[in-house]
Structure formats: C-alpha cells, structure tokens
C-alpha cells in the first residue's frame, strides 16, 4: 500500500459546499494543508469556552512536582511513550496524552474539561469532514463514517479509540544573564498521521509550511493571552482524498519572552473562562502551552478507495488502491514510514534511520 503525494499541475476545482465551521476556505485548506480558525472570545464560539477551561487545568497540572506528574506516566515502550499518559522530552517539552476517561487525571477538573473539549472538537471536525466530502463530490457520509459513530472521550467501561487529546508545555529559551537567547525548535517539522488536527495555542509558536514557497508561516500571531486555533489536514485524510487535500507540514518554534506579560483577569461576563489561579502560569515567560486534538480514523471501520474516488479526486494510483480494509491497516501503513516527533531525540533518530534503511531496501528491489 503506497500513498502518493498530490499530482503536479492543475486539479479540478472543489465544489461549493454548505456552511462550513468558521467559514473555512476549503480550497486553501486543500492546497496548503492548514487554515487558521477565527476564535471568538465568547461562550457562543463552538471551541473557545471548552478549550479555555482545559488550558486552566493543563497549566495547573504541569505546575505539579514532577513526581506527581509521573504517576500518570504510561507503561508503553519508549517508542510509543507519547501515545498515552505523561511524557517528558528533555529540553523540548512535557505532555500528557488523553485517550480514556479512566486514565485521565482528576486534578483541577481535568477529566470533566477534557471530555468537554473532546466533544466540542469532535463536533466541529464532523462538520468539517462533511464539508470536505461535499467539496469533493463524494457520497454524503462516506468520510464522516471513518470517524466512527461518536467522537467523545471514552468513558469507564468503553474501549480506547485512536483519536486523542494532548496537552503540551513547551520549554521556551530563557535568559539567565539578561542576554537575548536564540529561538529554538521544540517540535521538529512533521505531518500528523490522522484525519484532522486542531492546535489551540495560548501564545505564538506554531509554524506551518507554505507548500508553494516552502517558507514557514507563523500561524499564531495572536495577542498575548488570546487563544488561537489552527486546523491541519493529516496524512490519513490526504490518503482518502488521493492527495486532493494535502497534509499540512508544521513545527513548533518558540521565541524567548523577555518578561512575564501583565496580569489579566476575566472580564465581567467571565468570557475568558480561564481560572484566575491559572493565569500567572499560562503567562510565564518560561513556557508555551498548547492543546492538540487529533482526530484519527476509527480502526474497525472498513474503507475502499472506490468509495472515495470522484472526478475531483481523480483515479487513485494502482499501488494506492485498497478494498474493504480496516482503517487500522491504513494507519499502520502510514505510521511505519514516519518517525514519532513526540519521543526523546535519541529514539527519534533511531526511528528515522530505520525508516531510511527500509526505504533504501525497498527501492533496490
């Protein structure tokens, strides 16, 4: 199973669609693999309130002593350490990946707030997937079906799913001697493996690549303390659309902050939804916080390229065609040729070298 990059040259235009969340420009999303979402600081915004509340829980969790955070460390081997639970990559970041309510921390209302953010993100993404299939002239529901029946944090007694929610605290360069330290990359350039990813940042740091010029574009030029959101196409959706929707290449590049930003407080309507105790933590110059909701195809769902093929997608190359295979097999084929950006650097380089050797072996046959 080989997933080819988008074909060069002109492609049929996308069809116009019904209203898409945040008035997303689907042609831009397809062309670049990413778009910014204009969040509104209001409870009426589909994402703002839920993710703002979760930022509060995230900041307070990462402020716990390391030994407290390590209680949530996964028993996964190092190569899979980022797939669930707490993990730290020295010199870059610490993160906690949530996949199931039963293994989600209860401190700082995290379990409740994670479930709210998961549901809010899932609802928006289901609408986006509907717009994508409509824009490609696909049968209604054919892409939405790959999400599974519901997109919610699995509750007690329910099975784990592929979709996940990650909370990050990135280490910013901080000066001890008054000199301006250099900016640094804390998440190397990569493309996500799933269907769609929603990155919500509290301060700038996410950069996405313009595939036409290869230039890096800052996606989070927001005011300090104002959340930003970016929607990224993942490689599974790129595969399902025959490359008509391109996967978005991105990285996290953090800059030093000279000093902590002035303290702010929720307005009279409470529309910022940030806990007062969490505000100083979120605004410290030492860290950048972000929340990433990653929608992956539901593993048991069977898929066939014949169901995705339209005049707009074009004919799938023979090596990229498949019939009635589970989404788990598609995900495995994609993940086996990509290294994990959220594990320690040494393991990362080992994976990269192994993938390079496998590619050389395959090309020599």
CATH architecture of 21-364: Sandwich (2.60)
Given a cut of 70, whether residue 80 has pLDDT beyond it is: no
pLDDT band at 18 (very low <50, low <70, confident <90, very high): confident
Closest to 144 in 3D by CA, of 337, 357, 298: 298
Mean pLDDT of the chain: 88
Residue-wise pLDDT tens digits, 227-238:
899 999 999 999
Task: Please report, rounded to a whole number, the percentage of residues in the chain having pLDDT higher than 70.
Answer: 88
Mean pLDDT in residue range 252-269: 57
Domain ranges for the chain: 21-364
Residue-wise pLDDT tens digits, 127-157:
999 999 999 999 999 999 999 999 999 998 9
pLDDT band at 290 (very low <50, low <70, confident <90, very high): very high
Q: How far apart are CA 168 and CA 316, in angstroms?
A: 37
**pTM for this entry:** 0.90
pLDDT band at 269 (very low <50, low <70, confident <90, very high): very low
What is the SS3 assignment for 23?
Answer: helix
Q: What is the pLDDT of residue 148?
A: 95
How many residues appear in the chain?
Answer: 365
Contact of 45 with 166, CB cutoff 8 Å: no
Q: How far apart are CA 200 and CA 129, in angstroms?
A: 19
Q: What is the pLDDT of residue 338?
A: 80
Q: What is the pLDDT of residue 13?
A: 94
Q: How far apart are CA 143 and CA 132, in angstroms?
A: 8
Q: What is the pLDDT of residue 325?
A: 97
- Produce one character per residue of 57-88: b if its CB has 16 or more CB atoms within 10 Å, e if not: bbbbbbbbeeeebeebebeeeeeebbbbbbbb
């Amino acid at each position: 199973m080989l997933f080819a990059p988008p074909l060069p040259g002109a492609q049929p235009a996308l069809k116009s669609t019904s209203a898409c969340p945040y008035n997303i420009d689907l042609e831009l999303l397809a062309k670049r693999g990413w778009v910014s979402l204009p969040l509104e600081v209001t409870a009426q915004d589909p994402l703002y309130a839920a993710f703002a509340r979760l930022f509060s829980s995230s900041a307070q969790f990462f402020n716990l002593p390391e030994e407290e955070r390590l209680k949530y460390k996964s028993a996964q081997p190092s190569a899979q350490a980022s797939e669930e639970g707490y993990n730290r990559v020295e010199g870059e970041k610490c993160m906690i990946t949530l996949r199931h309510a039963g293994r989600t921390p209860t401190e700082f209302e995290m379990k409740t707030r994670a479930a709210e953010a998961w549901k809010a993100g899932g609802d928006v993404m289901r609408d986006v997937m509907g717009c994508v299939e409509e824009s490609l002239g696909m049968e209604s529901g054919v892409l939405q079906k790959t999400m599974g029946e519901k997109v919610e944090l699995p509750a007690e007694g329910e099975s784990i799913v592929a979709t996940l929610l990650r909370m990050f605290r990135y280490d910013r360069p901080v000066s001890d001697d008054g000199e301006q330290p250099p900016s640094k990359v804390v998440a190397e350039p990569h493309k996500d493996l799933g269907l769609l990813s929603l990155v919500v940042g509290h301060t700038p740091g996410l950069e996405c690549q313009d595939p036409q010029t290869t230039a890096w574009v800052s996606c989070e030029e927001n005011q300090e303390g104002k959340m930003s959101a970016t929607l990224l196409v993942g490689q599974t959706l790129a595969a399902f659309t025959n490359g008509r929707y391109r996967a978005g290449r991105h990285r996290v590049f953090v800059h030093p902050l000279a000093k902590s930003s002035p303290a702010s407080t929720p307005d009279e309507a409470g529309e910022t939804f940030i806990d007062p105790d969490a505000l100083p933590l979120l605004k410290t110059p030492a860290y950048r916080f972000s929340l990433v909701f990653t929608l992956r195809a539901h593993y048991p769902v069977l898929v066939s390229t014949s169901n995705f093929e339209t005049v707009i997608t074009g004919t799938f190359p023979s090596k990229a065609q498949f019939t009635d295979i589970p989404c788990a097999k598609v995900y495995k084929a994609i993940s086996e040729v990509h290294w994990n950006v959220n594990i320690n650097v040494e393991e990362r380089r080992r994976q990269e070298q192994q993938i390079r050797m496998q590619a050389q072996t395959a090309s020599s046959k």
